[in-house]
Amino acid sequence: MQATKLPANADTFDYVIIGAGAAGCVLAARLSEDPSVSVCVLEAGPSDRHPMIHVPAGFIKMIFNENYTWQFRTEPTENTGGRAIATLQGRVVGGSSSLNGLVYNRGQAADYDAWAQAGNSGWSYADVLPYFMRSERRIGGEDEFRGRDGGAPISNIDWKHPICEAFIRGAVGTGIPRNEDYNGRTQEGVGYFQRIIHRGRRVSSARAFLIPALKRKNLTLRTNIRASRILFEGRRAVGVAALRQQGGPENMFHARREVIVCAGPINTPRLLQISGVGPQEVLADLGIAPVHILPGVGRNLRDHFSVRVVARAKNTLTINERAKGLRLAGEIARWLVGKPSILALSPSLVHVFWKSDAALEQPDLQGVFTPASYKQGFVSLLDDFPGMTCGFWQHRPASTGFVRARSTDPFVDPIIQPNYLSADDDKRVLIAGIRLARKLLTTPELAPYFDHEVSPGPDVTTDEALLEYARQIGTSSWHLIGTAKMGPAGDSGAVVNSDLFVHGLQSLRVIDSSIMPTSPSANTYAASLMIGEKGADLVRGRTGVLGSATSPAA
């Protein structure tokens, strides 16, 4: 292992952050609050100036735009019907928060308590709740578990549809309680999602945290530059090499204090591997001299595998019709003058947190409902008929996979294999979710609007047939986590410790959703903001400044 000699003209900062996603934006903003330090953020994608980023409904236009997303795909397996599954990630300032489904969902207290019980001191729900609260500016609702002064505005839906109201009443009729704040005392129940939307516009982590902080002279953002390797002197990270184009000259960035990787659950392990940190067999296959053998890098990949049930609606207009022709023009006009409009909606409007088995104490399923439907095989093309959709995924998948670099070239996509539905329990819970979706779509309360089931169709009834349906049409929820797992030194699969330092190395941390040991019972954006907030305090040596909550939510 040879020491890296940085050129004399390398740009020098105290902290070099790789990735301007959810956690990276928070981290950069917090670290730069100290005027005595300098911070540089390297982002592989462009600025977030594209107007469709800021229109919530622009999600449909942006997610497959290769100029703003990593167009990653999984390796096919029998459990996905031989299909490669799109696992898109944001490649733009704001990362996936500039392109995601806009839902704010923290998860259950038990998720984080399990992290702490696995040996990660300081990561119980009581420990992390203050960081959730610090990042958010909750608009409306109760105060006990919610923050009012943070950068991310969290709003309630202001556009109501009779199908949604009927769906919620029907769910309540089956015994699922109505819950107005699933981010409060308990998650269980049905109601409307909270969104990262304010005054009709998306508020990404970039808009909430990074861009306001860029007014400071000690914070620098470099866009359209891709980290190619972390630079080491012995086992100490001292900088980052980065490329503006494939095969171009390397740009060098020296980090006086720390290199912090916030590149996400696919790019973070890939970067570590091509920098010489990872499993021995992976480094050998790449022909890379090891800096540090760390078997867990790239392993423990988890994702929420989602399956939807689609029905044809009647007796009302759905979003499918409102998004076309003169009706769309009317919706645009309403949005322009600040009135409720389909342009200011998240893709999923109603949540259902419930149980696959009545004996469970807490929900193990998340359901989403919307008065809209998409063409089979698409997530961005609305059906030509009036439609509604109810989809489910398992909160805490047991199936795990891996991310493995194919090449030392950072412009070559890595191998991504989540191994969806490889665990028997995942199959059982997902089948229960599909059956629950059907039940909720056929309640007496929803009957005035329910015409018939379109997919999977009434003839698909057995568990095996439903599982085959899931294999053929199931999709990633884009909630990937775990590939730089947090755990104590005795955990052979751990990559970082509870202070988020990479085991066995100095001055190198990972601060993003890669560090999650297990999937939270939630979308991952809220938890990523929390990780950014807590990570910033760890870097600044301010552990415990916010204290711990005394009454965690369920």
Supply the residues annotated as catalytic. Answer: 479
50 Rama class: left (phi>0) / alpha (psi -120 to 50) / beta: beta
111 Rama class: left (phi>0) / alpha (psi -120 to 50) / beta: alpha
Strands 39-42 and 219-222: parallel
Alpha carbon distance 464, 443 (integer Å): 24
Q: What is the CA radius of gyration of the chain?
A: 23
Tell the burial category of 301 from Cβ atoms under 10 Å away from its Cβ (0-12, 13-18, 19+): buried
Alpha carbon distance 463, 485 (integer Å): 34
Residues 6+ apart with CB under 8 A from 106: 132, 183, 520, 522, 526, 527, 530
Q: What is the rounded (10 degree) CA torsion for 431, 436, 442, 445?
A: -170
- Cα dihedral sign, 518-105-101-94: negative
Strands 250-261 and 11-18: parallel
Alpha carbon distance 4, 492 (integer Å): 28
- Cα dihedral sign, 542-546-547-553: negative
The answer to whether 469 and 307 have CB atoms below 8 angstroms apart is yes
Tell the burial category of 496 from Cβ atoms under 10 Å away from its Cβ (0-12, 13-18, 19+): buried
Alpha carbon distance 390, 308 (integer Å): 6
Alpha carbon distance 484, 494 (integer Å): 7
Tell the burial category of 52 from Cβ atoms under 10 Å away from its Cβ (0-12, 13-18, 19+): middle
